[in-house]
Amino acid sequence: MFQSLQPLPPDPILGLSATFKADSNPEKVDLGIGVYKDEHGNTPIMKAVKLAEESLLKSQTTKSYVGPTGAIGYNETIARMVLGDTLLDSLGKRRLTIQTPGGCGGLRLAADFIAKANADTTIWVSNPTWANHKPLLGSAGLKFNQYPYYDYLTHSLDFEGMLACLKQVPEGDLVLLHGCCHNPSGADLNPEQWLQVRDAAIEKKFTVFIDLAYQGMGTGLEEDVYGVRLLAESLPELIVVSSCSKNFGLYRERTGAVTLICESAKSCATSSTLLAAAARANYSMPPDHGAAIVQLIMNTPDLREIWDDELNEVRNRINRLRSLFVQRLRAASIEQDFSFIENEKGMFSFLGVNENQIKVLIEKYSIYLVNSSRINIASINDSNIDYLISSLKEVLDS
Ligand SMILES: Cc1ncc(COP(=O)(O)O)c(C=O)c1O
């Protein structure tokens, strides 16, 4: 039966990564990769994570299953991190959180849950959005539509277009927002814009679904969830999918969560049975290791302090690099204005170069980026910035 299968085209980001690895140019730079890189180009294990792992190794007494909804302590920890103490207490039984295999597992589970609630609903995603949103959410059979988000000409959020579109979203549809550090654009909503989105959701009665993959990577752990908390306190229903891949560096440990806010405690209890059934049908139980690490770090003051410092350093480094990159581009007298990169948040921004220029950057200079021109700011470091700037200058001036 497998004879009839046709191969799929390679994933553009993974394909790029493979070509980068095979490139023998010692000056090669990978701007396409989606993980954090430190000054030395590594994706390190955080110190707090290592310490938590050592402690867990000594204290864990079983490897028995954790159950479809994961560890209660981890779920409460994530809910507290995302929503904060006050809101969490006031939501009481209108809120539930379940552990998932990473943010992707959470998105997939949420999609199954949404399909059970209303198979005919449409999910409105930002134009552009993270490339994996459609495969993950679409696999549950959900339909998509797009709202304007990023204006490639002005290199900024097209909030007017976005809001006008949201005001046309039919009742019962879902609107997917990025909680912070929009991937791929780095352009985020400001507090005033979040308020207007909240008002549109109330007026038009659409359900908001937030993908929160980068809490703490933009402005701060609390600041980055301004929008999530605003919506959580004012909307009757909300779906939040969060991930610990980036902020704890736990990528391969697959550590995430789905948090639901429901209209009533009864609806929450019903929803929890559906989420648990969806988990059971997809993967049965989530993996434990990453969740146990997060739970331990967040509830052990010494570890928490170490992690806070490390996360601050990651965020500050990205923001420093944003400024440095813009400064260096300006100092090289490159005509194109890149100042927008300094105002964007998280790991990604569109460089705003065209596909021909990208082709030359890859083929002639071994500087790798995807066709959309999304770059990972954290890939820039002291060793490659001179080469990066001089290559960009040659390509952009030619
Ligand atoms: C926007 C967005 N959502 C969700 C995820 C999910 O990440 P993970 O499944 O590794 O937790 C990512 C990871 O790159 C992301 O960029």
User: The domain that contains 363 carries what CATH number?
Assistant: 3.90.1150.10
Q: Is residue 32 in some structural domain?
A: yes
The closest of 15, 8, 2 to 362, measured between CA atoms, is 15
In the chain, beta strands by DSSP E: 29-30, 95-101, 122-127, 143-148, 150-151, 156-157, 174-178, 207-212, 238-243, 255-261, 348-350, 367-368, 374-376
Ligand 1 atom at minimum distance from 34 CA: 14
28 with 169, same domain: the answer is no
Instruction: Check pocket membership of 102 for ligand 1, CB cut-off 6 A.
Output: yes
367 by DSSP, 3-state: which?
strand
**Final residue before a domain boundary, out of 259, 274, 299:** 299
Which residue's alpha carbon is at the smallest distance from atom 6 of ligand 1?
Answer: 103
**Final residue before a domain boundary, out of 299, 332, 365:** 299
How many domains does the chain divide into? 2
78 with 22, same domain: the answer is no
pLDDT for 16 beyond 90 = no
Catalytic residue annotation: 130, 211, 246
Give 388-397 pLDDT, tens digit per residue. 999 999 999 8
Distance 138 CA to ligand 1 centre (A): 16
Strand (E) or helix (H) holding 164? helix 159-166
72 with 190, same domain: the answer is yes
134 with 206, same domain: the answer is yes
**Final residue before a domain boundary, out of 299, 333, 358:** 299
pLDDT for 10 beyond 80 = no
Instruction: Check pocket membership of 346 for ligand 1, CB cut-off 6 A.
Output: no
Residue 75 confidence (pLDDT): 98
Mean per-residue pLDDT, 132-154: 95
Say which residue the tokens 């849950």 belong to: 113
Instruction: Check pocket membership of 125 for ligand 1, CB cut-off 6 A.
Output: no
Indicate the residue type of 238: L
CB-based contact 190:220 (threshold 8 Å): no
99 by DSSP, 3-state: which?
strand
Instruction: Check pocket membership of 214 for ligand 1, CB cut-off 6 A.
Output: no
Distance 213 CA to ligand 1 centre (A): 5
**Calpha distance 161→330 (Å, rounded):** 30
Residue 9 confidence (pLDDT): 83
Mean per-residue pLDDT, 140-146: 95
Residue 8 confidence (pLDDT): 87
Mean per-residue pLDDT, 81-110: 98
Angle between helices 102-117 and 265-282 (to 10 degrees): 120
315 with 192, same domain: the answer is no
Q: Is residue 139 in some structural domain?
A: yes
Largest distance between two CA atoms of the chain: 64
Query: What is the residue range of 160's domain?
Result: 65-299
Q: Is residue 245 in some structural domain?
A: yes
Mean per-residue pLDDT, 109-113: 97
Ligand 1 atom at minimum distance from 35 CA: 14
pLDDT for 108 beyond 80 = yes
Mean per-residue pLDDT, 258-272: 97
Work out the number of other CB atoms within 10 angstroms of the CB of residue 312.
Answer: 13
Candidate from 176, 245, 347 with most ligand 1 atoms within 8 A of CB, to mutate: 245
229 with 173, same domain: the answer is yes
Q: Is residue 60 in some structural domain?
A: no
**Calpha distance 211→103 (Å, rounded):** 8
Indicate the residue type of 7: P
What single string gives the DSSP state of each residue in 152-163? TTTTEE-HHHHH
**Helices H, strands E: what count in the chain?**
15, 13
Give 329-367 pLDDT, tens digit per residue. 999 999 899 999 999 999 999 999 999 999 999 999 999
Mean per-residue pLDDT, 139-150: 95
Q: Is residue 57 in some structural domain?
A: no
pLDDT for 13 beyond 80 = no
pTM here is: 0.96
> What percentage of the chain has pLDDT greater than the value 90?
95
**Calpha distance 346→94 (Å, rounded):** 31
Burial category of 232 from C-beta neighbours within 10 Å (exposed 0-12, middle 13-18, buried 19 and up): buried
Mean per-residue pLDDT, 113-123: 95
9 with 148, same domain: the answer is no
Mean pLDDT lowest among 4-13, 114-123, 136-145, 374-383: 4-13
Indicate the residue type of 362: I
**398 — pLDDT class (breaks 50, 70, 90):** confident
238 with 316, same domain: the answer is no
269 with 312, same domain: the answer is no
Residue 253 confidence (pLDDT): 98
247 with 328, same domain: the answer is no
241 by DSSP, 3-state: which?
strand
Which residue's alpha carbon is at the smallest distance from atom 12 of ligand 1?
Answer: 213
Give 205-237 pLDDT, tens digit per residue. 999 999 999 999 999 999 999 999 999 999 999
Strand partners, 238: 208, 261
Q: Is residue 233 in some structural domain?
A: yes
Strand partners, 97: 259
Work out the number of other CB atoms within 10 angstroms of the CB of residue 153.
Answer: 7
Kindly report whether the peptide bond that precedes residue 236 is cis, defined as omega within 30 degrees of 0: no
Angle between helices 159-166 and 191-204 (to 10 degrees): 20
236 with 320, same domain: the answer is no
Mean per-residue pLDDT, 51-55: 98
- CATH code (residue 191): 3.40.640.10
238 with 352, same domain: the answer is no
286 by DSSP, 3-state: which?
coil
pLDDT for 63 beyond 80 = yes
**12 — pLDDT class (breaks 50, 70, 90):** confident
Residues 6 or more apart whose CB falls under 8 angstroms from that of 18 comprise: 10
Q: Is residue 162 in some structural domain?
A: yes
Residue 119 confidence (pLDDT): 92
Q: Is residue 59 in some structural domain?
A: no
Q: What are phi and psi of 220, to 5 degrees?
A: 170, 165
43 by DSSP, 3-state: which?
coil
**Calpha distance 275→148 (Å, rounded):** 31
